[in-house]
Every structure is written in C-alpha cells, then in structure tokens.
C-alpha cells in the first residue's frame, strides 16, 4: 500500500489539508476514498513471515485488536492534526481517558485532577483508581496553588479538561504543565471541548492529549470512539502494550466513519462556533438570562487566558435561565428545533440540563461549587441555519 502518512512531514500543510489527506494508505486499487478493512486477522505469505511478524522484524499487521489499516489511517491523521508523534485509537472516549491514566499508574501512585470534569472522568478518578490502590486528589483547576499543594512524593500524573463541561471554564495548560513537571509528574489533557483545531495542549506542555472522537470528530451522532496522543516514547511506554493486551480497541468500521468525519471537521466546527457565538451575543442582553458563559467573549471569567491558549471559541454556550429548574424545564420543553440530549458536537443542535442529567450524581453542594445551578442549560450548536436556531431559543424563552 502506498503510504501518504509521511506527507505532513515533507511539507507542513495547514490543518484543513491534513484533515483531508494525512495518513491515507492507498491499496493497489487506487481508491480515492479511504478503504474500510473490516477484517479481524491477516494471512501470511509463509510460515517464516508469520514468525518474523511476531518477532517484530516484519512491519505488517497481525491482529486487529492492536493494528488495522483503517484504524492506522485514523491514528495517523489525528497525529498529523495534533502535531503528535504517535496516536492510538480506542473504542470510546472513556476508554481513552481510563487508559491514559491506568497505562501510566500502578498501586501506590497518586493522581491530581481538576474538579470540573466530564462526569465519567471524575468517576474514574474518584471511584475506580482508588479501588486499585491509586490515590486521587481533586482540586479547583484554576487555583494554581491548589495543584502545588496537592503534590505528594508519589504523584505521577495530573489530569484536566479545558474548557470544562458544562460551565466552559478555562484552565491554564502551560501553568499546570509547569507545576506537574516540577513535581516529576506528567499532564494529561482532555481536549474534547476545544477540539484539535482551537487548542494544542502538547505545544502548551502537556504530555498526553485525549479525545472522545464521539463528539466533534464524528460530528454526526453515529459512532463512539476515542484517541490518545503523545510522543512515541509516551505511547510506546504507557499505551501500546496496554491496548494490545487488554483490548479496548476501535472497530475498523468506526475508524472509517471517523476518518470521513475528520475530512469535514474544520468546516463543521467553524460553522458551529460561529453559530454558538451568534447565540451568545443574542442572549447576553436577554432579561431572562441571568448568566452566560462563552469562551471568546470579553466577559468570560478567563478571557485573557482564552486569548492566550485558544485559537477559537466554542461550539457550546452555557446559560442560566431565571426561575431555576422549573423555568429551565419549561424552556427545554418549548424548543421545537433544538433537541434535548446530553450529547454534544452533533450536526443537530442539542440542549441539556446538567443538574438533572450529566451532573445529577453530584451532591447539591458539589454542583454549586462547579457553578451548576438549577437554571443552567448547556447548548451545543448544530449545523442548522443560525437564524432558525436563534428564533427557536427566543420563542422558547417566552414560555420560560
């Protein structure tokens, strides 16, 4: 197969170009669109080739749990986009998060995480890791002294997400990376909300970046997927064997769907970001909106940091409706176009009420600490016409 994986090394194409071409492996048939290799295993020319491949002396594929051409294309394209040396795809975003931590840690180690995390990420840190003898401390991600104070002699890694779900708070990646490295620890960043287009954690000092490809990378609500990116050394040392031996692998079919998703990622994310910014402007002065959070607006709590570490805003807007849960429910139920769903990054505009869905597991006090009030909703901009979206929101606010 002709390898185009090295193209981005030959000429530093811009991200939009890499999204369409990087990582393509073309078969002898010369297909234009990436081929779907829906195969579990591979046949060998002869017994000696099989032996050589198992010995690592022949670079071909062995078994799709740890290597498949379609999955390789997805990994190579993601690596080229992120500017990472290596990538490994996983079945879901949560598999990527869990592996990025479990792959590095062992019993007796300690991890520090920011408190504003996607629900399941916080569950892994607070409930699962301790079960295997890995202690965790949760800190306010924006309090740099809290990260420093949390460090113990056995601290091995820091974990954060920025912008955060659902309040779109922004954490200083470079500053936290500096504290982690001074403590001899690594930093893992969950970059789902920013997307690879708007934020490059590796450039800011992170050692590992993880994505739920389920969100913007698919972008059309079809497949689950995840990806872990870092240096050859990081992936080789912590991730490759873990996937190979434990099996949280991405299906070739899903890799193919996600590859095709990457081709249109930039067009979709830029359009969705423009729409989200339009919604934020339209809502900012609305009398029924008591709080509005959008990275990219000058009134965002970390506006200067957004300028410093991000290249764009967000496809999401969080806003609080006067009147608490009742008003938020009336508003959601009155929407005609925007659908109620906890998913995000989809072509369809979606709305969710974090206090009763994604964050209902937390105590009222923990929610209050995170700024998740009963009137707060999180809006994910889709690809519909922005005027239709704004009209739907304004009409529903009349009801609330």
Ligand X SMILES: *Cc1c(COP(=O)(O)O)cnc(C)c1O
CA within 13 Å, CB half, 377: 32
| Minimum separation from the CB atom of position 328 to ligand X (A) | 21
Site membership for ligand X, residue 379 (CB under 6 A): no
Nearer to ligand X, 5 or 372 (CB): 372
Question: What minimum distance in Å lies between the beta carbon of 339 and ligand X?
Answer: 17
Cross-strand bridge partners of residue 41? 63
Can you tell me the distance from the alpha carbon of 110 to that of 106, in angstroms, rounded to the nearest whole number?
A: 9
Instruction: Considering only the stretches 115-123, 195-203, 284-292, 357-365, report the one whose residues sit in contact with ligand X under the rule CB under 6 A.
Output: 115-123
Check binding of 346 to ligand X (CB under 6 A): no
Task: State the residue for tokens 């925007």.
Answer: 338
- CA–CA separation, 164 vs 140, rounded Å? 12
Per CB under 6 A, 161 contacts ligand X:
yes
Tokens linked to 257: 């769907």
Contacting residue, 79, 150, 192, 258, with ligand X by CB under 6 A: 192
| 335 binding ligand X? (CB under 6 A) | no
**Spatial separation of the C-alpha atoms in residues 302 and 142, rounded to whole Å:** 9
Out of 82, 169, 172, 190, the residue judged to bind ligand X by CB under 6 A: 190
CB 108 within 8 A of CB 133: yes
Which of 18, 156, 215, 378 contacts ligand X by CB under 6 A? 215
Yes or no: say if 120 and 251 are a contact pair by the CB < 8 Å rule.
no
Quote the CA–CA distance of 211 and 230 in Å, as a whole number: 12
Choose which of 160, 180, 188, 224 interacts with ligand X (CB under 6 A). Answer: 224
Among residues 93, 141, 201, 354, which is the contact residue for ligand X, using CB under 6 A? 93
Residue 387's CB is within 10 A of a number of other CB atoms, namely: 10
The answer to whether 311 and 197 are in contact (CB under 8 A) is: yes
Interface residues for ligand X in 12-71 (CB under 6 A)? none
Instruction: Tell me which residues in 117-146 interact with ligand X (CB under 6 A).
Output: 118, 120-121
Binding site for ligand X (CB under 6 A): 92-94, 97, 118, 120-121, 161, 165, 190, 192-193, 212, 214-215, 224, 226
């Amino acid at each position: 197969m002709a390898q185009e994986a090295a193209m981005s090394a030959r000429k530093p194409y811009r991200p939009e170009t890499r999204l369409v071409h990087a990582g393509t492996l073309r078969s002898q048939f010369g297909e234009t669109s990436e081929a779907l290799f829906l195969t579990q295993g591979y046949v060998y020319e002869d017994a000696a080739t099989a032996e050589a491949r198992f010995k690592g002396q022949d670079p071909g594929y062995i078994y799709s749990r740890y290597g498949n051409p379609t999955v390789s294309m997805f990994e190579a394209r993601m690596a080229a986009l992120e500017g990472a040396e290596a990538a490994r795809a996983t079945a879901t975003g949560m598999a990527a998060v869990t592996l990025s931590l479990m792959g590095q840690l062992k019993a007796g180690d300690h991890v520090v995480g920011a408190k504003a995390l996607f629900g399941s990420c916080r569950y892994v840190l607070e409930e699962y890791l301790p079960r295997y003898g890995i202690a965790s401390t949760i800190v306010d991600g924006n309090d740099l002294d809290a990260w420093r104070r949390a460090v113990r002699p056995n601290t091995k890694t820091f974990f954060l997400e920025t912008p955060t779900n659902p309040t779109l708070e922004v954490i200083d990646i470079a500053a936290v990376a500096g504290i982690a490295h001074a403590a001899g620890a690594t930093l893992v960043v969950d970059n789902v909300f920013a997307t690879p287009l708007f934020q490059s954690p590796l450039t800011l000092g992170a050692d590992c970046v993880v994505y739920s490809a389920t969100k913007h990378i698919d972008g059309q609500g079809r497949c689950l997927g995840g990806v872990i990116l870092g240096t050859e050394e990081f992936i080789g040392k912590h991730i490759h064997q873990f996937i190979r031996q434990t099996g949280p692998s991405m299906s070739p079919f899903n890799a193919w769907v996600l590859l095709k998703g990457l081709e249109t990622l930039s067009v979709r994310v830029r359009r969705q970001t423009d729409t989200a910014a339009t919604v934020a402007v339209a809502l900012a002065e609305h009398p029924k909106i008591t709080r509005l959070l959008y990275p990219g607006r000058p009134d965002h709590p970390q506006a200067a940091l957004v300028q410093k570490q991000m290249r764009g805003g967000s496809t999401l807007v969080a806003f609080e409706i006067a009147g608490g849960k009742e008003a938020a429910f009336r508003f959601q139920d009155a929407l005609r176009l925007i659908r109620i769903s906890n998913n995000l990054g989809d072509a369809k505009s979606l709305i969710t009420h974090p206090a009763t869905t994604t964050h209902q597991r937390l105590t009222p006090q923990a929610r209050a600490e995170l700024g998740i009030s009963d009137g707060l909703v999180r809006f994910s901009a889709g690809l519909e016409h922005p005027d239709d979206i704004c009209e739907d929101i304004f009409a529903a606010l009349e009801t609330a």
